[in-house]
Amino acid sequence: MAHIRKEHWDCDPFEAKKMENGDIYARGSQDMKCVGIQYIEAIRRLISDGKRMMRTIHMTFVPDEEIGGDLGMGKFTKTEDFRNLNVGFGLDEGLANPTEKFSLYHGERAVWWVEVNCVGQPGHGSQFIQDTAAVKLQKVLTAFLNYRDQEEARAKKSGKLGDVNTPNLTYLSGGVAKNVVPSNLTLLFDLRVSPDTTPEDMVKKLDELVAMGGSGVSYKLLRKDISYTTPLGDDNAWWKTFKKACEKEKVDLHIEIFPAGTDSKYLRALGIPCFGFSPMNNTPILLHDHNEYLNEDIFLHGISIYETIITDIANVPDA
C-alpha cells in the first residue's frame, strides 16, 4: 500500500524477518497472511490426522476487501456457486488484542461515505466576499469535528470503539485558480456507524450537522451500508459451540463490535451467522502500520486454537 515506506521499518516490510525473540516483522503479518496460513495449516493437520466432520469445510480467498468487498465477496455471494455451498456459519478476520484476552467480533460498524457540497459566492481573491463556500465549509467542518470529539469521549468511556460512530475527514477539494474565491468546495467524510445507532438516527444527525453550514450546503451518501450482528444468546448453537471450543483452548474472549469493515458483512446480510476472530493475544494492534509484526509462538498457538474451533464448529448438528 502507498503509505508503507521502507524507511519507517526496522527491516524490509516484505522480508518476513524473525527477530531473536520470535517476533516476525512483515507487511500483512497481522492482516491477513497470519489467519490465511493458520486456516490452511489447521485443516492440513486435521486431514493428516484422518479427522472426518459432519459438515463440509470451505476456505475462500477473495479480492477487494480493502476497497469495500463489493467486487469480491459481495459479488461472490450473489453467484450460484456460493448458493451451492449451503453455508451455515462463517469465520472471518478479527484484530490483535494487547492483553491476555482474545478479541471476538459478532458484528461490525457500517461504512458510510458522506460527501458535503458547499456552494457560496465566488469572486476575486482581493475582496471580502460575503457568504463564501469557504465560510460555510468551516462551519460544517467544525460541526463534524465537534461531533467527532463527542464520540471519541464516549469511546474512551466505554473502551469499545465499535460502540460509537467515527466521522473522519478524508478528502477536501475545490478551487479553480490561485486568485479566485471558488463557488464550490467539497468535503468527504468516512463515517463508521455503530449497530447501536439506527440508520434513521444517523441521517437525522447528518441533517443537523450539515444544516450548521447554512443555505447552499447539501450532502449525499456515496455509500450507506447496514450493520448486521450475530446474536450471542444460548439459543445460538454456533455461539455455544464456539465458546466451548475456546474454553477448551483456555481462550478468554473479549466480545466487541468490529470497528472497521470486513467481508463478514455479506454473510450476515444473508442471515448467516459469522464471527470475526484472529487468535492474537498479547499483541499490539499494528495492521496497516509500520513495523507490523506477530510473534512466532502466538502464531503457532493460533493454529492449534483453530484446529479445535474448526473441528467443533464443523460437527454442529442441524442448527
pLDDT by residue (tens digit) across 111-133?
Answer: 999 999 999 999 999 999 999 99
Which residue type sits at 34?
A: C
Boundary-marking domain end, from 224, 259, 287: 224
Chain CA centroid to CA 212, Å = 30
Sign of CA dihedral 205, 207, 211, 216: positive
Task: Based on the fold, state whether residues 236 and 181 are members of the same structural domain.
Answer: no
3 state SS of 17 = strand
| Cα separation, 307 vs 304, whole angstroms | 5
Model confidence at 204: pLDDT above 80 = yes
On whether residue 187 sits in a domain, the answer given is yes
Task: Based on the fold, state whether residues 124 and 215 are members of the same structural domain.
Answer: yes
On whether residue 319 sits in a domain, the answer given is no
pLDDT by residue (tens digit) across 142-174?
Answer: 999 999 999 999 999 988 899 999 999 999 999
Q: How many domains does the chain have?
A: 2
Task: Based on the fold, state whether residues 117 and 189 are members of the same structural domain.
Answer: yes
Residue 273 belongs to domain spanning? 6-108+228-313
| Cα separation, 295 vs 24, whole angstroms | 6
Asked if 139 and 212 count as a contact pair (C-beta separation under 8 A), the reply is yes
pLDDT by residue (tens digit) across 39-93?
Answer: 999 999 999 999 999 999 999 999 999 888 999 999 999 999 999 999 999 999 9
Task: Based on the fold, state whether residues 104 and 244 are members of the same structural domain.
Answer: yes
Tell me the average pLDDT of the chain. Answer: 95
Q: What is the CATH number of the domain that holds 121?
A: 3.30.70.360
3 state SS of 56 = coil
On whether residue 130 sits in a domain, the answer given is yes
Q: What is the pTM of this model?
A: 0.86
